[in-house]
Amino acid sequence: MSHQYTFETQLLHNKHKFDPATGGVSVPIQHASTFHQSTADKFGKYDYSRSLNPTREALEEIIAELEGGVRGFAFSSGMAAISTAFLLLSQGDHVVVTVDVYGGTYRMVTQVLNRFGIEHTFVDMTDLDAVEQAIRPNTTLLYAETPSNPLLKVTDIQAVSEIAKKHGAYTFVDNTFMTPYLQRPLELGADIVLHSATKFLSGHSDTVAGLAVVKDEELAKRLYSLQNSFGAVLGVQDAWLVMRGIKTLSVRMNQSQESAVKIAGFLKEHPLIKKVYYPGLAGHPQSKLQLQQAYGPGAVLSFELKNAEFLARFIEKVRLPVFAVSLGAVESILSYPAKMSHAAMPQDERKKRGISDGLLRLSVGLESADDLITDFEQALDSILTLEAQKEEV
Ligand SMILES: *Cc1c(COP(=O)(O)O)cnc(C)c1O
């Protein structure tokens, strides 16, 4: 396919624009688990759907092209993609992981990999000296997530990849928050990019899926073998849903991001908000880096209420966002990292990472930004009113 087209056009005009067999303008869902072979010794391209399935393959080709990699892989969840990629490591290896990594990845590294003799060190990857110092002779992987979850810290992908290369290690980047529309880690030197396609890529809170894209053939062969061995492949209905989501990725991201900028600006000025974490704010410590390595700040922000005791009331009063785990959907999602995405992390570990009990994360959806701001305003005002009444008593 021609790379003359812009990304927006590529989302629609790729190899899977229509089905070559029928002209159907949607990838057919091939439910078959097995495929008839017509001769005793020469088999076709497809034999068994864990190994290769045409519907899943279409999604794998689409994401590989969008991320600029040689090959893509679709898994039954983001964690299945991440865990399978970790299986590239061997006993005795050491991995350096970004400190405020997704809670499920934290659990995989600290409770599963450790049992297989794979060591880890968590570092704040905004500090490149700390990254360098964490490297040991047996370090084989640097694992980054940027912007991070839930504090939206930005890691310099190119710099981290260079450090990894110097030490003969791989770089994996969890690109869930950005998607390839806003950030393409392989172009910045990463070896594998990982996604929870449950989030922005599918975009409608209606499927759980994971993706991995690999930069070179050698690593792709190894990851393919692990995908087939471990077997956590994505089902065909879900693969189709992710492909449908991807068609509208750029318009959804644009709209949500534009609203996120406005909402972050509103929250920053509100007297009940202690701090807003969003790389789209000028005050964010890595806002410049974010705009150098990505095409925008994204549509996720976190904010801390002045007093953690206000949180329950705020959540009760706010009407538009759903209060739920997850992010990256058409509807705005408000979540509570301490009790949701990072519940797998012990409280002292959360504290160390700055994930306070008064922190909320907002994934901005497609509602009007004005409606969302009005909604937050009334919820915050109700807290102000209550506090004023308390003072009077
Ligand atoms: C949700 C998420 C994951 C895990 O993906 P699942 O699809 O829930 O398994 C990994 N990384 C990030 C950044 C996420 O937001």
Whether 365 and 329 have beta carbons less than 8 Å apart is answered as yes
As averages over each run of 10 residues, the pLDDT of the chain (393 residues) reads: 79 94 96 96 95 98 98 98 98 96 93 97 97 98 96 97 98 98 98 98 98 98 98 98 98 98 98 97 96 98 94 95 96 94 82 89 98 98 89 79
Ligand 1 center–CA 222 separation, angstroms: 23
Is there an atom of ligand 1 within 6 Å of 215 CB?
no
Ligand 1 center–CA 175 separation, angstroms: 10
Q: State in Å, rounded, how far the first CA of the chain is from the last one.
A: 71
- Residue 303's DSSP bridge partners are 276, 360
Ligand 1 center–CA 102 separation, angstroms: 7
298, amino acid identity: G
CATH class of the domain defined by 250-392 = alpha beta
Residue with tokens 């006993």: 91
Element housing 74 (H / E): strand 71-75
Taking CB atoms within 8 Å and a gap of at least 24, the contacts of 25-28 are: 26/240, 26/244, 27/55, 27/58, 27/59, 27/240, 27/243, 28/54, 28/55
Longest Cα–Cα distance of the chain, Å, equals: 88
Residue with tokens 């910045």: 188
Whether 210 and 82 have beta carbons less than 8 Å apart is answered as yes
Whether 194 and 211 have beta carbons less than 8 Å apart is answered as yes
Q: From the options 3.40.50.2300, 3.40.190.10, 3.90.660.20, 3.40.640.10, give the CATH code of 2-247.
A: 3.40.640.10
pTM: 0.96
Helix, strand, or coil (residue 253): helix
Please tell me the predicted confidence (pLDDT) of residue 1.
45
Distance CA 210, CA 205 (A): 14
| Nearest residue to 370 via CA among 336, 333, 332 | 332
Residue with the smallest CA separation from ligand 1 atom 7 is 78
Is there an atom of ligand 1 within 6 Å of 30 CB?
no
The beta-strand segments (E) located in 162-309 are: 170-174, 192-196, 210-214, 273-277, 300-305
Burial (0-12, 13-18, 19+ Cβ within 10 Å), 212: buried
Query: Which of the listed residues 76, 199, 300 should we mutate to test ligand 1's pocket, taking the one with most ligand atoms within 8 A of CB?
Result: 199
Whether 150 and 361 have beta carbons less than 8 Å apart is answered as yes
Q: Is 50 a catalytic site residue?
A: yes
Q: Is 166 a catalytic site residue?
A: no
Distance CA 190, CA 176 (A): 15
Please tell me the predicted confidence (pLDDT) of residue 2.
46
Ligand 1 atom at minimal distance to the Cα of residue 327: 15
**What string of DSSP letters covers 80-130?**
HHHHHHHTTS-TT-EEEEETT--HHHHHIIIIIGGGGT-EEEEE-TT-HHH
Q: Where are the domains of the chain?
A: 2-247, 250-392
Query: Which of the listed residues 102, 194, 205, 341 should we mutate to test ligand 1's pocket, taking the one with most ligand atoms within 8 A of CB?
Result: 102
Give the torsion sign (CA, 67, 70, 74, 77). Answer: negative
Catalytic residue among 56, 153, 199, 215: 199
Residues 6+ apart with CB under 8 A from 121: 94, 95, 96, 97, 134, 136
